[in-house]
Structure 1
Amino acid sequence: MEYQPGVCNIGPAQQRRRLLLGIASLLLAVGTVAAIFVMEWPRWTLILSLFPLYGAAMGYFQYRERFCVGFAGIGVFDVGGGTQQVQDEAALEADRRRAVRLNTKSLAVGAVGSLVIYGVSLAVF
């Protein structure tokens, strides 16, 4: 696997870490929603599921697209040969543009997910 600016900045080992982050965040979202119902908190607090849902989406998208937002932010990549610094300014800019897109997509998925949870809670409970 090879580093491709704005396309791929992590290899299989780093991808697995992002997938595990996504799974853990999804489990946290389920736990958050369950805790809100068990504790009988106000229904609007279900919107708090946005944060772990955002993390779940971010982990999944980084896994699927072989691209780490955090690595892009600090200007590094790791496609299997260890973490290396991005030297080219154009490559760094391409990575950061991609990071913004992934971050925005993850936030949108988290927001939609939390609104769906809230809507379903109104319809069911």
Structure 2
Amino acid sequence: MTNATYIPGVCNIGPAEIQRRRNGGIGAAVATGAVLAATVLTGAPKPLRLIAILPAAGAATGFIQAATHFCAGFGMRGVFNVGDTGGTDTVEQAEFRAEDQAKAKRIIAASLAIGAGVGGAALLLP
């Protein structure tokens, strides 16, 4: 995607922002692995493994946003950036903002569900 265009409820970030989200997903996935390794290998109480929910949800958020070319935070705030990182433009039309907020809420819900799934799976580890 080299020539990004804002499309309400579909695409609100361009290549530079997409890469930032992907990098964030990778970092959070590494953090998830570190949390799981630390809690499993040290024999920490199983409920402590639920801490992995947070970085796992963060990883899911980053990867989902990169894959869908949509930033949930931008969508909730009513802004977009399909150019270089650092600046944003305002979504003026109320119906476009509503579409963006609905998409953002779906991304957030999916990310939380994935984080909870990872946390649940962590409890099953020996």
Could you state the TM-score of these two structures normalised by the residue count of structure 2?
A: 0.91
Unpaired runs of 5+ residues, structure 2, are none
User: Aligned partners of 1:113 and 1:65: how far apart in 2?
Assistant: 21
User: Aligned partners of 2:37 and 2:53: how far apart in 1?
Assistant: 14
Cα distance, 1:113 vs. partner? 1.5
Q: Percent same amino acid at aligned positions? A: 36
Amino acid at match of 1:105: A
- Aligned position for 2:15: 12
Structure (1/2) with the larger helix percentage: 1
User: Aligned partners of 2:78 and 2:16: how far apart in 1?
Assistant: 19
Cα distance, 1:103 vs. partner? 0.5
Unpaired runs of 5+ residues, structure 1, are none
The partner residue of 2:80 within 71, 77, 82 is 77
RMSD after superposition: 1.2
Which 10-residue stretch deviates more, 107-116 or 8-17? 107-116
The partner residue of 1:48 within 47, 51, 59 is 51
The partner residue of 2:61 within 55, 58, 63 is 58
- Aligned position for 1:109: 114
Could you state the TM-score of these two structures normalised by the residue count of structure 1?
A: 0.91
User: Aligned partners of 1:50 and 1:2: how far apart in 2?
Assistant: 33
Measured against aligned partners, the alpha-carbon deviations of 1:25-55 in whole angstroms (never above 9, x if no partner) come to 0000111112213443211111110100000
Number of residues paired by the alignment? 121
